[in-house]
Structure 1
């Protein structure tokens, strides 16, 4: 089974991406939340490809180093399945059914809902409440994926010394943290407006439109900050590691801004514009009034300002910890710098908060 039910208090969110392992621990109640510990550790090239683990030993080592650095008080961990690896579907079932009966119905009718053999499936469900049209029916959220997706992630955190307590879906983790992101804006969007989240990672550019904490639209593009790193490496004859450090610390030749940086920023803006066009082309969609930039590559110089100018929208850099208190043993400057890349880990850790 997947883990949609509420886990124990004190949960460590572990996000495994193609470039890094991110770990964060939160505590609190309601809007009073505190960052207890966190760490970000790099992964070797090729250890994770398109969010799938290819070298388990490298991933286990990176998680272990993150645990050693963060020293979380809890050992309960939550991990996330890539959204494109999971099936989500809302079922309408009689309100009288118990949990055991719902599970039995899903197993019996699995061929209607799940497009792969049921003996390979991990699944879970959650009651959403009474159906809007039929008071004697209830809506039930079904989530399913292949067992190997779950086994790979849980094995990695278990070998690193953590207890895999919850397995979530990336999209749900992002929805959970959306409320914290929207608090960054001084005025709340009205019911006919929504927020677009642009997550610029190492290899993927994910575009999500959210309203009232729910995802309305998502689009992934194979385009990320790694492209800029590769351009620096090729143009200036650097190794991959040297190019990555130069991108962060500067010190590149004078032609870098005009010849490399600006064309990359323009390409990102084109990607965002295309995603917005596709979102609106479906018709009857709420208006996007705010853009939030996330991911490790979103702080590239000039990106936020040029995107705001080209879109005419308010553009912010994601920081889900802006209104949280920080444990004194956490490096606040480092956390602020890493915050745009910690959304999924934060959303996972928030699962255990009341």
Structure 2
């Protein structure tokens, strides 16, 4: 799913050109700045040239909003210097909390142009100067109806984010929504690893710091989305309570390959069972509120490390009767020189959005 030109503020936007098939994806969460530099070897074949994860202290980003501009700029500069890349093809994300995503149906013989239909949808705003938007035709169904993907956000929200990048010396060439980047990652993984799922209905759960993005998609189209109030923060709090750790110590333990002997029974399994209950709620909401006839064929879990996760997907399958897999899509890529496989395995659960952004820009 690829938007051609999310219309960012023209005073900040400079169209960059690249001599190679490279793209840098940058995602900013409440907890970290994540950068992924991909090189497209061929269709659906990628090389992970470099990546960085720079932790963010509290009160810099909150629920997708920039709360401390100067500190964010400083950490973006730190991440950029650590990456040491000259790539100018850069895709960045805006939080789904700051964007509105919708799919519009178009009849083949309609008298209205795509632009006219989009303008009608955006007429709720007092002025188009107040909104950043983009749209793209994504599919035509068996009845001859075209499907338009429309994304829009308040221009002020886009400008605040773009100002931080500009002050950090980074010039994005395109902007996408983090939710669509997750979908990009899912589509890329399906195309490469399980093409038989291409036209199936898939449920994707991307675990983030304080929440999980739940997505139900079919043919690459978003059918249903929901935010679940369950993420890494809940695991960290459980670690802190169980082992009397500071937040930093709990974060380190969460991503360490070695954990206490009772970690599975004390921390991992209770979290997994709570997560499965949330999966069941999402599926129930989807089938009762969306009036969908599509049966969900597969559940994909992104952003949850494989360490101490024995039996997690089997428990999901038993309790939902739907096959499930744990996936970190960035691991699809061939590794560049200097990337340590063990370190990437440890960090990979944080890189799903940045990977999807980089794919979007190739």
TM-score clears 0.5 = yes
Give 1:1-354 correspondences, 5 Å limit: 3-4=5-6, 8-9=17-18, 10-28=22-40, 29-89=42-102, 90=104, 92=106, 102=115, 109=120, 112=123, 114-115=124-125, 118-127=128-137, 140-183=148-191, 185-186=193-194, 188-189=196-197, 191=199, 193-249=200-256, 256-281=263-288, 282-295=290-303, 301-302=309-310, 303-353=312-362
Indicate conservation of the 8 Å contact 2:198/2:219, yes or no: no
Question: Is there any run of 5+ residues in structure 1 with no aligned partner, and where?
Answer: none
Name the SS of the counterpart of 1:188 in structure 2. helix
Question: CA offsets, 1:27-58, max 9 Å, x none?
Answer: 22312322122111111123211122212233
Alpha-carbon distance between aligned partners in 1 of 2:99 and 2:253, rounded to the nearest angstrom: 37
| Higher mean displacement: 12-21 or 244-253 | 244-253
Indicate conservation of the 8 Å contact 1:7/1:166, yes or no: no
Indicate conservation of the 8 Å contact 2:93/2:175, yes or no: yes
Name the SS of the counterpart of 2:86 in structure 1. coil
Question: Is there any run of 5+ residues in structure 2 with no aligned partner, and where?
Answer: 8-14
Question: CA offsets, 1:227-285, max 9 Å, x none?
Answer: 12112223433221122223333777665543433222211111111111212223333
Normalising to structure 2: TM-score of the pair?
0.81
Name the SS of the counterpart of 2:292 in structure 1. coil
Q: How many residues align?
A: 345
**1:211, CA displacement in angstroms?**
1.8
Normalising to structure 1: TM-score of the pair?
0.83
Partner in structure 1 of residue 12 of structure 2: none
Indicate conservation of the 8 Å contact 1:198/1:205, yes or no: yes
Name the SS of the counterpart of 1:80 in structure 2. strand
Alpha-carbon distance between aligned partners in 1 of 2:316 and 2:122, rounded to the nearest angstrom: 45
Indicate conservation of the 8 Å contact 1:195/1:209, yes or no: yes
**1:199, CA displacement in angstroms?**
1.0
